[in-house]
Structure formats: C-alpha cells, structure tokens
Amino acid sequence: MLSYITRRVLLAIPVLIGIMVVVFILVRAIPGDPCTSLLGERATEEACEVFNEANGLNEPVWVQLGIYMKNVVTFDLGESIRFSRPVNQLLIERLPLTTELALSALALAVLVGIPMGVIAARRHNTLVDTGTMALANVGVSMPVFWLGLMLAYVFALVLKDTPFVLPPSGRLSAGLSSTPYYEVWGWQLQEGSFWSKFHEYVANHYIFNNFITGQWEVFWDAVRHMILPAVALATIPLSIIARITRSSLLEVMSKDYVRTARAKGVSEWTVVRSHAFRNALLPVVTIVGLQLGALLGGAVLTETVFNLGGVGRALFDAITGRDYAVVQGFTVIVAAGYVIVNLLVDLSYAYLDPRIRLE
C-alpha cells in the first residue's frame, strides 16, 4: 500500500508541473496586461514601466516561469498585483468558503443521488423509475446561474414572510461574526508561524468552527446561508450520481450470485443491501471523486450569483484583472486537491472490492 501511494504521489508531480506551465502560458496569452487592467486611464507608458519593474513583469517569460516554479517549491505563491497581498493569505481567507460549499453540495448530492439511483434500479421500467430519471435529466440540464437566481427569488422574496425564508447572499448576517476557536479557547499562537496560518485557515470554515466552539447562533446562520448555494451547486452532480448508481446497480443485479441469493429466498432489500449495492459502488465512488474535484474548481458561477467570496469568485476577478500570481497559485492548489481526491478514490477501491490489489 505504501509503495502504491508513493508511486502515485511521484506520478502526480509531472502532472502538477504540466498544469503550472499550461496555466502560465494561457494566462499570458489573454489579450491585455496587468498594468492597463489595474491602472486603467492612468496606464501611461512610463507608469507601466514602473509597474512592470516593481512586479517583475519586465523579465523574459522563461525567467518569470522559473521564478514561479521556484516559489511553488518553497510554498510561496507570490503576491497579488490587484490586492498587494500574499497569495497564501488570500488562499487562507478564500479557500475555506469554497471547501465548505463543495463539501456541502457533494454531501447533498450523495445523500439524495444514491437513494434515487437505488430506488430507480429496484423499480426498473416502472413509473417510479421513469419519473426519477426524468428528474435527474432535468437537474443535469439546468444551468447553475439560472437555478441559483430562481432559488434566491423563491426563498428570499416569495417566501419572505414564511418560516422557509433563506438568505440569498453572503456568508453571515449583518451584525454576526465568527470568533476563531483558538481565541475562544485562549490559545497563544505565534503570529506569522506555519501553525498560526494553519489554525487561521481551519477557523475560516465557519460551520465547523462555530460547531466545535458552541457558537450556535452563528453556526445556524452560517448553515442557512449555505443552503441555497449548496442546492444550486449540487443539482448537476446529484443527477449524475443518481444515473450512475442506477445503471451500475442494474448491471450488478443481473449477475448470477444475485439470482442465487433470490432463489434462496433472501428478501429483496437484503439482496440489494448485502449482495448488490457494495459491488455497484466502484463506478459511483469514481464519479463522486471526480465531482468533488469539479466542485472545488467550478464554483465560480455559484459564488458569483450568491455573492460569496470564495476561490471561484477570486479566480474570476483575477483572470479579468490579469492578476497572474492569484490565477497561478489558486489553480495549483485546486489541481493538487484534485490529485489528492483521485488518490483517495483509488485507495477506496481495495476496501470496497477485496479482489482489487493496489500493489
């Protein structure tokens, strides 16, 4: 197992390098430059020379690429041109929101999508199966930005005078703030140290932070703010998971050992739960892992619609503002997360199916 994990990690290194190079080239291929995007009408030739000199943009492209690679190896993702702040600090502030949103959406997609697929497979070729798959097709066809706007309109305006009203934007209501757990517990952290940054990053997960510290008013407010974005973001992966679960379970339930279990008089629920479901999980787990990676990197529309300051929104602003360091840094982190998720999916195969030997 250890050798397999080591081999996969080593193979991920050239993948990440390739991603960094491709992103580096694509960002610089976009028409325009950071100076004119940031300075606007004040972007005279002299001002741009000073700007490029201060931000290292007057160096040859290969020199800039070499500096960027060296900085990534030392976990220094550079400084944002737009905000004049380290990209590492922006990640500490922005990544927790996107992580919470992606995990919430994935949890909703799994908890609803898998039962939908199981029900459709058990009632194959019935009205229940047809209706379930029709809903899945509708869900996978709805654009996230349209669904987000419709959810905000219904739950914030139409239902505003009912107990079902939900906030349409933001992360917390006005007047509320999340106190980090290390402050609640009186921990003394060395400012600027690695552990200080780590605890700051963890504490920026508002739902987790306020749950473990018992700040229930802030906790429930954060949960309410997360419901609509999570539902909008979960719709497409939920539909995909339901369809994959149905097709995989139908294939497994046609196997000889399932027919043998039925011939022995085993109840249908036991056949599905003990004989078919676990063997049908491999493609489902694969698609769940892929969807989590896609959610981490593709939340830009959801974050824009619901005015959330996560990685997706920051990437959109960085691309339009030609903020090279932010685009490169955030992309590397998302790509690394994608690689880790796929590694965990591969490791889960050996647990789900003992016939698979990773070594």
Tens digit of each residue's pLDDT (9 = 90 or more) over 121-174: 888 888 988 898 888 888 888 888 888 899 999 998 888 888 889 998 888 888
In a domain, 5, yes or no: no
> Which 3-state string (H, E, C) describes 193-252?
CHHHHHHHHHHCCHHHHHHHHCCHHHHHHHHHHHHHHHHHHHHHHHHHHHHHHHHHHHHH
pLDDT score at 298: 60
Rounded to whole angstroms, how far apart are CA atoms 146 and 166? 17
Domain count of the chain? 1
Reading the block at residue 186, the tokens are: 């009186």
Residue 227 domain-assigned (yes or no)? yes
In a domain, 340, yes or no: no
Kindly state whether residue 80 falls inside one of the protein's structural domains: no
Give the residue-averaged pLDDT of 300-315.
83
Nearest to 327 by CA among 102, 83, 23, 33: 23
Of residues 180 and 261, more confidently modeled: 180
Average pLDDT, the chain: 83
Check if the beta carbon of residue 132 is closer than 8 Å to that of residue 242. yes
User: Per-residue pLDDT for 358 more than 60?
Assistant: no
Distances (CA, A) of 197 to 91, 142, 202, 207: 10, 39, 9, 19
- Does residue 244 lie in a domain region? yes
Q: Is residue 292 part of a domain?
A: no
Does residue 249 lie within any of the structural domains?
Answer: yes
Residue 207 counted as domain residue? no
What is the C-alpha end-to-end distance of the chain, expressed in Å? 6
pLDDT band at 206 (very low <50, low <70, confident <90, very high): very high
Full domain range(s) for residue 108? 91-178+215-278
Token pair 């994608």 is found at: 338
DSSP 69-117: HHHHHTT---B-TTT-SBHHHHHHHHHHHHHHHHHHHHHHHHHHHHHHH
Furthest-apart CA pair in the chain: how many Å? Answer: 85
Each residue's pLDDT tens digit, 59-72: 788 888 888 888 78
pLDDT at res. 26: 82
Listed residue (165, 172, 161) closest to 151, CA to CA:
165
Q: Is the pLDDT of residue 222 over 90?
A: yes
Strand, helix or coil for residue 179: coil
Residue 357 pLDDT class (50, 70, 90 cuts): low
Residues 43-61 have a mean pLDDT of 76
Which has more pLDDT, 223 or 313?
A: 223
Cβ-Cβ contacts under 8 Å for 308 (sequence gap 6 or more):
97, 101, 169, 170, 171, 229, 302
Crossing angle of the two packed helices 324-352 and 2-29, in degrees rounded to 10: 150
The residue assigned the tokens 């976990």 is 75
Tokens of 72: 């990534």
Residue 314: pLDDT band with limits 50, 70, 90: confident
Residue 359 predicted with pLDDT over 70: no
In tens, the pLDDT along 256-284 reads: 887 888 888 877 777 777 777 878 888 88
